[in-house]
Amino acid sequence: MLEAEGVIVKIGQEGVFVETSRASACGSCSGKEGCGTSTLSQLLGSKTSSFKVLNPIDAALGERVVIGMEEAALLKSSLLVYLLPLAFLLTGAILGGWLAPARLQDAYAVGGVLVGLVVGFVALKLISAGAGTNSQFQPVVLRRVFSQNFVKFAGGHE
């Protein structure tokens, strides 16, 4: 399970919106002076992202929570995003070159690439619209994050 911490910023009908921040570990190693990735990381800084997340534990607005998603679901969706348009692109190129007259094969192959790529993205959009309602592919609020002070106060320990 992949996990990240975030804060609930909005409550919707089908879940909550959680804002997470991306922080980079770049700049903490000994080679940071000569590293382009470290420089780029400092230039861009940390960014926040907001996600629609299922909320089975009924966490409230403003609460700090841990969200999670299964690795298998992330792998499947990543493969789909990269391989489906590529497969349609290659199929379009092959069909364009095969259907063309001998002297125009290259032009038809390029046209087939463009048509195949567009068809691949449309197919991806249709598939992802259906997968968006599947809870397997949506992140879920796993648990609340309590601060140390709250735990000490609630438990009566000092």
Residue 65, amino acid: V
pLDDT tens across 90-121, in order? 999 999 989 888 888 889 999 999 999 999 99
Least confident of 40-44, 59-63, 79-83, 126-130: 40-44
d(CA 123, CA 76): 16
pLDDT tens across 3-14, in order? 888 898 988 887
Q: Does 42 score more than 70 pLDDT?
A: no
Q: How much is the pTM?
A: 0.60
